[in-house]
Amino acid sequence: MPRVVDNVQIGPMTWKMRVEVPRLVAKAKAGQFVIIRVNESGERVPMSIAGLNKDEGLLTIIYQVVGKTSALMTTVEGGGEISDCVGPLGVASHVENWGTACVVGGGIGIAPVYPIAQAYKEAGNKVISIIGARSKENLFYEKEHGEVADELHVCTDDGSYGHAGFVSDVLDKLLKDGAPIKMVMAIGPVPMMRVVTRVTKEYEVPTWVSLNPLMVDGTGMCGGCRVTVGGETKFACVDGPDFDGHAVDFDILTKRLNAYKEQERRAMKKFLDDPHCRLAESVRQFTYPGTK
């Protein structure tokens, strides 16, 4: 079973986990993802690759606590194990030297655009990175992005740090001012990716987005991850996760992501309400600070 090297909190709801999976890491490329299972009764959760240490065989994933499984992930201690980590899944991000390329990361999307920025840079591009979060405390990886990007723009929705506003506003302004951006890679919440594609459409800049529909196997077997791109059905786990942002049907994607909202809420509640569960106790403390 894959060993977890460390698992640390890096924001109010954000954690960073490093897993030792040398054979996977040897093959993995920016833009791909893995599926992990915490324990025997757990769900299979897809997680983007947020960093690869090829020398030590370490994979970094950065995750947000949104439900039961991601909450459970926080309870794995450094030195512990998880049941499974399968991958690398999906097609690696397309990388070439376009001259100037821009990566846009919103919220948890700041993580997966980091290795992509590195790959763009290695290919010889001038890299402009735009990262944004709800507030200062939700921001992470600023230093890492700063080390890779030729130009880094940081923003927060509430203006508590950096530029006040959305990543798409920053991108809009750059393009308006004539930045020679030839390619944009945007990863983040669906509404953010949608707005970014609207902006780049106007300036006719090709744009990749990384889609995160609900998945089961991640190998093309179930079809649960199907998305509509250019009027065609694609399986995000094998055909993606990167797609031409100007061709993606975001309406359908948004609706499909809500398929299990109610069941997920119930599972989380049942878990948190169980007075005998020790895991639940540590998650309760974490999710609702100050409560016991």
φ, ψ dihedrals at 26, nearest 5°: -60, -30
- Within 10 angstroms of residue 77's Cβ, the number of other Cβ atoms is 10
| 23 exposure class (CB count in 10 Å sphere: 0-12, 13-18, 19+) | exposed
Please identify which residue in 69, 93, 125, 168 interacts with ligand FAD, judged by CB under 6 A: 69
Site string for ligand FES, 175-214 (x = CB under 6 A): ----------------------------------------
Site string for ligand FAD, 235-254 (x = CB under 6 A): ------x-------------
Distance in Å, CB of 249 to ligand FES, minimum:
17
Please identify which residue in 169, 217, 264, 281 interacts with ligand FES, judged by CB under 6 A: 217
Residue 119 near residue 97, CB atoms below 8 Å: no
Please identify which residue in 8, 26, 221, 259 interacts with ligand FES, judged by CB under 6 A: 221
Please identify which residue in 2, 90, 106, 218 interacts with ligand FES, judged by CB under 6 A: 218
Residue 192 near residue 211, CB atoms below 8 Å: no
What would the DSSP string read from start to end of 166-205?
-HHHHHHHHHHTT----EEEEESSHHHHHHHHHHHHHTT-
Binding residues for ligand FAD, rule: CB under 6 A, are: 33, 43, 45-48, 61-64, 66-70, 108, 111-112, 212-215, 241, 257-258, 261, 264, 268
